[in-house]
Copies of this chain bind each other. A is one copy, B any other.
Amino acid sequence: DFLSAIDEVTPAFGVAKEELEQVVQNGIIHFDKVIDEILRSGQLFVDQVRVSTRTPLVSLLLHGPPGSGKTALAATIARASDYPFMKLVSPDDMVGFSESQKVAAISKVFADSYKSPLSVIVVDSLERLLDFTPIGPRFSNSVLQSLLVLFAKRPPKGRRLLVIATTSLRPVLTDLGLSESFDSEIRVPPVSSLRSLEAVLDEVDLVKNPRERQQTMQMLQQAGFGSDETGLNIGIKKLLSMIEMARQEPENVGERLVTSLMGL
């Protein structure tokens, strides 16, 4: 009754795909070649799960600073797999859940995936799923224990599963013993070079006038952006937000952006 199982999970498909699209609202800007490498690596894991018989379970961790684009990249890789079962597990859908409700929701998704021959699950923002706070520290041990088991539990015979998790607190995961659950880890970097920043500005058409554009870049260079000394860098998500704020004062866009960036 494999077919009936397929039937059963089908209704959830469309929804998941939409969800995976929604978290990439501003698209993927290829501001650095590392972005392409990340996407290609993801593709390789997608292929491995599809073909290898010895590794029916592969798990991958995308980690990087806040707003570096982890969720968008994980969702992009998952959506591109076009597996029959694709699902996003996100803290956004669990506000106010008790620990046991979270565990139930998460393990429901894994249990559902075991009914499909080929599945991908994006487990987004582990620190939020864990209710992690550095003070204490506090976290949900029952969510942690469930993830430790689910990330290591083989799907039943004939089923294959790719797990893509994201976090901006990788050192914490290591302390919690969760890091070593993953078969592989990929780092998602922030925008940290002048060239990358320029690529983003161009992509979003912030400064159209060529001279103004040049001035803006010079200001950024003088401010030390992208130099090793200042170590200035910024997640793509926050950068896009600053750009929009700057747009509020059309006559003064470049300067305002530089001020914001320097305020980091």
Enumerate chain A interface residues (CB-CB to B < 8 A).
Answer: 22, 25-26, 44-45, 47-48, 52, 54-55, 58, 66, 91-92, 94-96, 98, 100, 103-104, 107, 128, 131, 133-135, 137-139, 141-142, 144-146, 148-150, 153-154, 157, 175-177, 180, 183-184, 204, 238, 240-241, 243-245, 247-249
| Contact yes or no, B135 A176, CB < 8 A | yes
| Contact yes or no, B240 A44, CB < 8 A | no
12 additional A-B pairs beyond A26-B54, A133-B141, A134-B176, beta carbons within 8 Å, are A44-B245, A44-B248, A48-B247, A54-B243, A55-B240, A96-B107, A96-B142, A98-B100, A133-B145, A133-B177, A135-B176, A138-B141
Residues on B with C-beta less than 8 A from A25 are 154
- Cα A244 to Cα B56 with chains together (Å): 10
Chain B's nearest CB lies how many Å from the CB of A201? 13
7 nearest CB pairs, A to B? A55-B244, A96-B103, A52-B244, A131-B145, A92-B153, A95-B107, A138-B141
Which of the residues B54, B96, B135 comes within 8 Å of A146, measured between beta carbons?
B96
| Copies per assembly | 6
| Contact yes or no, A146 B44, CB < 8 A | no
- Known A180-B66, A183-B245; judge A142-B149 contact (CB<8 A): no
Chain B's nearest CB lies how many Å from the CB of A20? 14
Residues on B with C-beta less than 8 A from A144 are 133
| Contact yes or no, B245 A184, CB < 8 A | yes
| Contact yes or no, A142 B131, CB < 8 A | yes
Residues on B with C-beta less than 8 A from A150 are 95
Residues on B with C-beta less than 8 A from A104 are 96
| Contact yes or no, B55 A241, CB < 8 A | yes
Residues on B with C-beta less than 8 A from A244 are 48, 52, 54-55
| Contact yes or no, A149 B91, CB < 8 A | yes
- Cα A92 to Cα B243 with chains together (Å): 37
- Cα A149 to Cα B127 with chains together (Å): 11
Closest B residue to A245 by beta carbon equals: B48
Chain B's nearest CB lies how many Å from the CB of A162? 12
